[in-house]
Amino acid sequence: MSAITITKRDYNEWLEFCSQVQNSAAVAFNDTEETQKLRIKRALTDYNYFVKTYFELYADADCADFHIDFANACLADPNFFGVAEWAREHAKSVHLTIIIPMWLIAHKQLTGMLLMGKNEDDACNLLSDLQAQLQYNKLFAHDFGEQYNFGSWEDGDFTTKDGIRFLAFGRDQSPRGARENEKRPNYGVVDDVDDDDIVHNPKRVDKVVKKILGAMYFALSIKGARFTMGGNRIHHNSILANIVGDTKPGAKKREGIYHSKVKAIENGKPAWWQRYSLQELLRKIAKAGTVLAKQEFFHETDIEGKIFKNKYFRFAKLPHLSKMDIIIGYFDPSFENSQTSDFKAVSVWGQDKFKRYCIKRFTRRCELEDVFEWMIKVEKNLPPGVGIIWYMEKQFYTRPVKKALRRACKKYKYPLSVLTDERQKPNKYTRMVRMEPEYSSGNVVYNVEEENDPDMVEGN
């Protein structure tokens, strides 16, 4: 995401949008009091229904499970502190800056809102959509009361009839003095404040992080305030990463945080399957390339290491598998057999004379049985006369692994054979150093047909 110049929204364009809001959220002429009561009752308990009923402009598909979980968690906890680290085009801004605030209004839980954007114009633009809904969404007003009173998103400041003040500001501005009469804001949202310029300047990042946790967070009510942040991780030391806390591998997250981290594709399936097909996402990945896809869809930053350079990873057409001297599949299981444990990974490598070819990869959080089922399918689809020798480290070949292998073999009626690797190996760093000459000399090649495959992207 580059640091593009952001300008304030054209007022006439905003009025046109307001007209769309008004037309999409009108009150039916035959609406009855009984129908209204039933609608309100369901809307207050069913977030997906709330979105589809009052926000038709945004609801071209059902909400994803992670949208619903985040909104419900936010509503349930008056001191909610949550980060929506969702993939690009997964409705972070819509939910955090528009629908969740109105969800809180419907529940009479909002006293004021602070909104931080990249700069003042960006924040005002975000606020303009919310004002349009509060001012022109007639169905919402019919069910939950007229909202807008005075002020304008153009100034980054407007207030409702109930005295709820909405204030927008940029990451380099101060939100101090945000109270409206006796009402102090109790909802703060930071939306997509990272860009390619700031993430490479640790001092600027640190300054914004301190502003978020200092001036902004402390401008919210001590009695109870919800805080949300939306974005995707474009750098290991981004503002978002610092708010979450895990800027380094193994680092602990901020205590008490609700961290919703969603990749566009998880375990080979779209995370927001209600809206996107796998083919649509793969087409986007193919056009953008794996480096940007990792950043925008998978929250993985492509930072060159001191040993391995980006240019070392070459994708090319592979020789026919029958030409390979040997093909080995190596299974690296995570320690725990659960959906939330580390990734389970399988790499299928072939060797032809001096060159090594990465043919295919499996990289997912899943059950052990899922891995063996994948290995069986790969082996069954090999050309005639071609075989794979499957290995895994002896220390990982435990009873649960053996049982999962037997279940998979029984299910597919296929005798998958997995050997144990009993070699005494040097430490991981030493092994990586020894591999560097093979990569730098061009003797390691990755299958170009798998370049945009989610498992290959995740595994690299």
- What confidence score (pLDDT) does residue 338 get? 43
**What is the b/e burial string over 167-195, where b = at least 16 CB atoms within 10 angstroms of the residue's CB?**
bbbbbebebeebebeebbbbbbbbbbbbb
Nearest to 98, CA basis, from 62, 65, 136, 61? 136
pLDDT in tens, the chain (460 residues): 445 556 667 777 877 877 888 887 788 888 899 999 999 999 999 999 999 999 998 999 999 999 999 999 999 999 999 999 999 999 999 999 999 999 999 999 999 999 999 988 888 888 888 988 988 899 999 999 888 777 777 777 888 888 899 999 999 888 766 565 567 899 999 998 998 888 888 889 999 999 999 999 999 999 999 999 999 898 888 999 999 998 877 788 999 999 999 999 988 899 999 999 999 999 988 877 777 788 889 888 755 555 567 777 889 999 999 999 999 999 988 744 444 456 789 999 999 988 999 999 999 888 899 999 999 999 999 999 999 999 998 888 889 999 999 999 999 999 999 999 988 777 665 677 677 778 888 899 999 999 888 888 877 7
Complete domains list, the chain, with CATH: 11-262 (3.40.50.300), 305-459 (3.30.420.280)
- What confidence score (pLDDT) does residue 303 get? 55
Length of the chain: 460
Q: Are 23 and 57 in contact (CB under 8 A)?
A: no
- What confidence score (pLDDT) does residue 365 get? 84
What span, in angstroms and rounded, lies between the C-alpha atoms of 441 and 355? Answer: 10
Rounded to 5°, the CA angle 13-17-21 comes to 170
- What confidence score (pLDDT) does residue 183 get? 76
pTM over the 0.85 mark: no
- What confidence score (pLDDT) does residue 308 get? 64
Q: Are 132 and 17 in contact (CB under 8 A)?
A: yes
Rounded to 5°, the CA angle 164-169-170 comes to 160
Cβ atoms < 10 Å from Cβ of 112: 24
DSSP H helices in 113-264: 120-136, 138-144, 202-211, 239-244
Q: Which phi and psi angles does 370 have, rounded to 5°?
A: -65, -35
Secondary structure class of 92 (helix, strand, coil)? helix
What span, in angstroms and rounded, lies between the C-alpha atoms of 306 and 185? Answer: 47
What span, in angstroms and rounded, lies between the C-alpha atoms of 197 and 204? Answer: 10
- What confidence score (pLDDT) does residue 80 get? 97
Nearest to 270, CA basis, from 71, 66, 58? 66
What span, in angstroms and rounded, lies between the C-alpha atoms of 458 and 297? Answer: 10
Residue 281 burial by CB count (10 A; 0-12/13-18/19+): exposed, middle or buried? buried
> Sign (positive/negative) of CA torsion 254, 269, 235, 7?
negative
- What confidence score (pLDDT) does residue 214 get? 93
- What confidence score (pLDDT) does residue 1 get? 46
- What confidence score (pLDDT) does residue 123 get? 87
- What confidence score (pLDDT) does residue 306 get? 59
Residue corresponding to tokens 């008490």:
256
Q: Are 120 and 169 in contact (CB under 8 A)?
A: yes
